[in-house]
Structure 1
Amino acid sequence: MLEISMIIMALVLTAIASSLAVGVWTKSRRDYRKPFALLMISEMMVLWAYAMDMFSVDIGSKLFWNNFEFLGYVGCVASFFLFAVQYSSDIKVNRPLAALLIVPAALMMIAVVTNPYHNLVYLTTEVSSDYYRSFDATYGPLFYAYMAYSIVIMLSGVVSLVVRFARASNAHRIRVGITCLSSIMAVAPVLINYTAMTSMPGGLLYAIGFLSADLLLFVGAFSFELFSMVPFELERVMRFTSGGVFILDDEDIIMYQNPTAESLTVRPATPYQDRLTDVLPSFPLGILAVAKGTSIGVNEFHEIVPGRFFDVTLLPILDYASRLIGKTITLREVTDQCRAEAEAISAKHTLDLMNSITHHDVFNQLTILEGNLIMAGKKTDPASMQKHIDASYQAALNIQKQMQFARDYQEMTKRTPVWQDVEYKILEASTALDLKNIRLSVDTKGVEILADLLLEKVLYNLMHNSITHGGKVDNVRFVAMEVDGKLELIYTDDGAGIDAKMKSALFMKGVGQNSGLGLFLSREILEHSHMTITENGEPGRGARFVIRVPKGSYRNFTVGQSTISSSVQPSMLTS
């Protein structure tokens, strides 16, 4: 019955060991795959040689197969030690290490094969009365010497594994622990057999130890590289990626969220309890509905967090029957991209507008210029000729104004807003004007606003319009106040005001008595800095312009009032 058991164990061990050796050799890239494969081959050699030894009937045959069994033993000792030290460290096989393992093994094998001539390994040998013990032997000094060497080598390997276990990170400690345990299980039968702690045949001890240890040794040493490394790294990628990731079930309940996704939520989500919309209420419900019953991913831009835009990708998770069982949602922030696109659209609008201005208005003025020059050439009366020349000159001046406007407008789109002291800019703009007897009051409470450098042009245009079109104006005033969390910069005069019929088109291009560009340009300048301008004065009681500045675009607002009359030198201004 034991013969059949030995054959079965030998076949099972051969199937396991050969499969593990081939799999590790072809799939793994670790240095210790080679000693592991050699260990598997040595184990098979020990067990099959023991089986043949046991089935032999005479002492000569038994000693013949014992030579192969011993070869397996020395192979197990050397390969186990090499596996242990390479698994535990980055040690490469150099000459001293190779000599430490190969020389004793080679000398011992020579001594075993030539034992009949010197009897230093076995003093005496005879067929054992116990069938399963193969033969009885009286051991010589070389056997005990190699036994001591083997014990030291194998225990050194176990110690190196234990040290690696003690130093392993929490993420890898279980696998290293399995490797240590399986190594001890493999070494223990060898030590038990050498120390004669049991009467069980050595071959049986090895078979039991190898069968119980090989699979665990493979799991501990190679399972991470071959089966777990990609999932392990994917988990780390999910944790450290800059994009947000949610994994939901089919009811939109959060099963997983990475730290980036959690940072976007209004409160920390409880996995398997909170729905996505419970912790991220601004998430578009339409996207979640799209995934029901479909296998097509969704990819759209949405404002998930106020002021922040994200590229939302939703991929349905389907079971074996293509039924929806969950969803994976990734959020990639594209706020900068959206802003850049908005700026590109704004720039296109600017170019289109400038194209219209330069094409239409300049072409009209050139037509006037050409016509008057032709007429001047046909006149003989000096007064009539001068009239057409003056009209031509005025058309040229108009073209100059149009081109100056185009330059100012185009330069505005290339600049970023800067902080400017409103009171100082008002005074600078006023020095470029002849205020005559008009009294200027400034009550801006020390405020600074984040605006384009052409802000001074806006302030200049407001005062210039009062002087030019306001009729009898005695007072103009700038006042700053906070209303509903925003700053309002209010300009008023006490002139004739603006006709009600003009109010709706007041800020459109071409509306006005001169070029019709002053208030239009003022509105464009302010919009470039996310500000607005409106007029809500009463005809006959003066003009009233309100410039609204959003929160975050003004600072240093203090309560106080001052009436200013200053002689600040003008900066570069264009009327």
Structure 2
Amino acid sequence: MVVLLLSCGILSAGFAVIGYYNRALPIARPFVLFMAAETVWLLGSACELMSTQLQTVLLINNIEYPAMMTVPVALLFIAFVYSGREHYLTKKIVPLFFIVPALVCLLVYTNPVHLLYYTGFHMETGGGTLIWVYDHGPLFLILIAYNYVVGLAALFLVAGRYLSGHKFYRWESIILVIAAAIPFLLNIAYILHAAPLPDYDLTPVAFFLTGVIISAGLLRYQLFSAVPVAYSRVFSTLHDGVFVLDKEFRVIDLNPAAEQLTGMRAASAIGKNLASLVPETAGIYRPPDQKIPEQEIQIIHDDTPRFYDVQMIPLDPEGTGSKGYLCIFREVTGRKQAELSLLTANKKINLLTRITRHDLENKLMIVHGYIALLRKPLSPEALSEYLEKQEAAVNAMHEQLAFTREYQQLGSRAPIWQNVDTIIRRAKTQVFFDQVRFAITVESTEVYADQMLERVFYNLLDNAIRYGGKNLTAVTVTSYPDSGALVIAVEDDGVGIPAEDQERLFEQGFGKHTGLGLFLSREILMLTDIAIDQTNPPGKGARFEIRIPPGKFRPASGDHRQ
């Protein structure tokens, strides 16, 4: 028995050293405390068995008792760290766990005075060896009660980790539950005289076995470098959707972001093939010997397209996917929308360049024609007429060039979320309303649109004032939901728009001024799939409705009114 205790004590010291070299990791610190205290307890127990002098035995017992009381507390600390509750182990809280051990040690040291912890001592023969046996008094129950409370708390924490943790880490939880239960079960057997060696208290050896099992778990499952709760926290708080797949692409686990992506709870999704949950991924699979490249897919959510970069990361070191995959969905809708907007803008600018060049060539031909006529003898009336027509052509070219300077900004910057109320009020300050009343009642909303959105509302308000007629008294801007979309209406009580003009309102060049304002407004809105139309019948005042599709508007993030 002495040899067993000495051997266990030496090995326990070795494990403490291993833990010390990993002391930077949270779980290593209570592990070192556990194994160091266990070393003192084991070696002290061995020395007790080797001595036949009662005073010597009691001295050794007094030395090992603080270590004996520390072992279950250190085991509880390991459970705290393992279950992710290490934040409770502060400098103020940790000493509280040692109040009862300190009291027990004080009772042991003062036992000769009160004889309530040990009532006496006697020698017995155990395994052919004379050993001193302690007759325990009533205060000994304090030790038993505290150690069992601490042990049950450790078991509770580890069991909770098992129930809430990922299945990959449940074996580690089972190992720690077994490790924590062994010494207490063996101690109960000793008290009931049902232990394998009833003459010896094998509790220190049982705690050593606990340390060995924990050490094996730490080394086998790398808990020194990856406490399971860290996995759980990171996994559950990632904004990216993450699926853990087996080699057949069946879902083993998924995080809350992935649940939201599929619209299915984890309990229902686990065991299903990824393609059945996200059909858009059906085309990304490859044979085991081929690497799966990162791909972009489009998924429709509530009639709104969402774009995701999908990455398949093999779980095996060789990268073959033999142990499954980590499938990560990273939403890139904002980036994709910006790319599509810029592409659309470039196409439209190229188109406008061709149209503008054609129009300017026509206007220049007109000017050259009148210059040729001016070289001939002309009456004053004809000369004045030709000069006016040349001036009109030059002014038209000037307006065309001014428009191209403005149009070239279209889509040059990525769309952004803009507060509707702020944009409209800012556009209103650029229009002279004089006696015309202006009213705005729009939802506190942000719209995803090109950064020239303000120009759209400026054009609509300017047109209302410019062409509303003498009877114009009010311009109003309102908003309301309609079939999942948001409609913003700009309406006036002026003369309205003639029936013959309504079909051509948004054509380039049509209108009484430059004929480019409404055309530009429609182009700006179309960059982010926003539509605009004039809905009032002739003679009733103009009403322009801007229809913003789902996904392109949201509640305002704050009060942006000016």
| TM-score > 0.5 by shorter chain | yes
Aligned to 1:439: none
Aligned to 2:37: 39
Aligned to 1:329: 327
Distance 1:333-1:23 versus aligned 2 partners, 3 A rule: same
**C-alpha RMSD of the superposition:** 6.2
Q: For 2:94, what is the secondary structure of its paired residue? A: coil
Q: Greater shift after overlay, 248-257 or 34-43?
A: 248-257
Q: Once the 2 structures are TM-superposed, how far is the Cα of residue 310 of structure 1 from its aligned partner?
A: 1.0
2:172 is the alignment partner of 1:134: no
Distance 1:288-1:374 versus aligned 2 partners, 3 A rule: same
CA contact (8 A) 1:455 1:526 kept: no
Look up the equivalent residue of 1:93 and give its one-letter code. P
Look up the equivalent residue of 1:79 and give its one-letter code. T
Q: For 1:226, what is the secondary structure of its paired residue? A: coil
Distance 1:402-1:565 versus aligned 2 partners, 3 A rule: same
Distance 1:461-1:231 versus aligned 2 partners, 3 A rule: farther
Q: Once the 2 structures are TM-superposed, how far is the Cα of residue 320 of structure 1 from its aligned partner?
A: 6.2
Aligned to 1:155: 145
CA distance in 2, matches of 1:207, 1:185: 12
Distance 1:149-1:226 versus aligned 2 partners, 3 A rule: farther
Distance 1:265-1:524 versus aligned 2 partners, 3 A rule: same
Q: For 1:312, what is the secondary structure of its paired residue? A: strand
2:239 is the alignment partner of 1:242: yes
State the Cα deviation string for residues 392-418 of structure 1 (Å, max 9, x = none).
422332134325644775788511899
Aligned to 1:10: 5
Look up the equivalent residue of 1:415 and give its one-letter code. L
2:72 is the alignment partner of 1:70: no
Q: For 1:331, what is the secondary structure of its paired residue? A: strand
Matches within 5 A, 1:79-478: 79-80=70-71, 82-83=73-74, 90=89, 91-93=93-95, 100=103, 103-104=106-107, 132-134=128-130, 149-162=139-152, 170-171=160-161, 178=178, 181-185=181-185, 187-188=187-188, 201-202=199-200, 205=202, 208-215=205-212, 226=223, 230-265=227-262, 274-285=272-283, 287-289=284-286, 292-295=288-291, 297-305=292-300, 307-318=305-316, 322=320, 324=322, 326-349=324-347, 386=384, 389-403=387-401, 405-406=403-404, 409=407, 414-415=452-453, 463-464=500-501
CA distance in 1, matches of 2:215, 2:264: 44
Q: Once the 2 structures are TM-superposed, how far is the Cα of residue 354 of structure 1 from its aligned partner?
A: 6.0
Q: Determine what percentage of the aligned residue pairs are the same residue.
A: 16
Aligned residues: 455
CA distance in 1, matches of 2:486, 2:195: 92
Distance 1:80-1:15 versus aligned 2 partners, 3 A rule: closer
Q: Once the 2 structures are TM-superposed, how far is the Cα of residue 131 of structure 1 from its aligned partner?
A: 7.8
Look up the equivalent residue of 1:158 and give its one-letter code. Y
Distance 1:165-1:455 versus aligned 2 partners, 3 A rule: farther
Q: Once the 2 structures are TM-superposed, how far is the Cα of residue 331 of structure 1 from its aligned partner?
A: 1.4
Structure 1 unmatched ranges of 5 or more: 54-58, 113-119, 434-445, 465-477, 479-489, 493-505, 532-549
Structure 2 unmatched ranges of 5 or more: 81-87, 164-172, 411-449, 471-481, 545-562
CA distance in 2, matches of 1:257, 1:367: 69
Look up the equivalent residue of 1:333 and give its one-letter code. E
Q: Once the 2 structures are TM-superposed, how far is the Cα of residue 247 of structure 1 from its aligned partner?
A: 3.7
CA contact (8 A) 1:45 1:72 kept: no
Q: Once the 2 structures are TM-superposed, how far is the Cα of residue 254 of structure 1 from its aligned partner?
A: 3.8
CA distance in 2, matches of 1:255, 1:197: 43
CA contact (8 A) 1:248 1:328 kept: yes
Aligned to 1:498: none
CA contact (8 A) 1:85 1:161 kept: yes
CA distance in 1, matches of 2:110, 2:59: 15
Q: Once the 2 structures are TM-superposed, how far is the Cα of residue 279 of structure 1 from its aligned partner?
A: 3.5
Q: For 1:332, what is the secondary structure of its paired residue? A: strand
Q: Once the 2 structures are TM-superposed, how far is the Cα of residue 311 of structure 1 from its aligned partner?
A: 0.8
Look up the equivalent residue of 2:299 and give its one-letter code. I
Look up the equivalent residue of 1:20 and give its one-letter code. F
Q: Once the 2 structures are TM-superposed, how far is the Cα of residue 359 of structure 1 from its aligned partner?
A: 7.5
Q: For 1:134, what is the secondary structure of its paired residue? A: strand
CA contact (8 A) 1:317 1:327 kept: yes
CA contact (8 A) 1:247 1:257 kept: yes
CA contact (8 A) 2:294 2:311 kept: yes
Q: Once the 2 structures are TM-superposed, how far is the Cα of residue 528 of structure 1 from its aligned partner?
A: 4.7
Distance 1:35-1:281 versus aligned 2 partners, 3 A rule: closer
CA contact (8 A) 2:245 2:251 kept: yes
**TM-score, normalization by structure 2:** 0.57
Q: Once the 2 structures are TM-superposed, how far is the Cα of residue 312 of structure 1 from its aligned partner?
A: 1.3
Q: For 1:283, what is the secondary structure of its paired residue? A: helix
CA contact (8 A) 2:314 2:325 kept: yes
